[in-house]
Amino acid sequence: MEKTPAIIITILLGGIGLHRFLAGKIGTGIIWLLTGGCLGIGWIIDIVKVCTGKFLDKNGNVWGN
């Protein structure tokens, strides 16, 4: 996935964990879904990580490259 769509998905739907499901992180995606992105704090951290290219998928590759 390219960087711009990854950022948009993370900002708009990251609170319900969609970006984590798409990155293959099913376990933390469920946690994000049930807690509202860890009360919004984890969601903001993930937005910063995706924007800076430090968010990794389940295989260790940069997601939103």
- Condensed to tens digits (0 to 9), the pLDDT of residues 14-49 reads 999 999 999 999 999 999 999 999 999 999 999 999
First to last CA, the chain: 7
Whether 10 maps to a domain, the answer reads: yes
Report the distance separating Cα 28 and Cα 56, nearest Å.
Answer: 13
φ/ψ bin of 57: left (φ > 0), alpha (ψ from -120 to 50), beta (otherwise): beta
- For the entire predicted model, the pTM comes to 0.90
Is residue 1 very low, low, confident or very high in pLDDT (cuts 50, 70, 90)? confident
Whether 31 maps to a domain, the answer reads: yes
Whether 20 maps to a domain, the answer reads: yes
Whether 19 maps to a domain, the answer reads: yes
Total domains in the fold of the chain: 1
Which residues form the domain of 41? 3-52
Whether 46 maps to a domain, the answer reads: yes
Tokens of 50: 């995706």
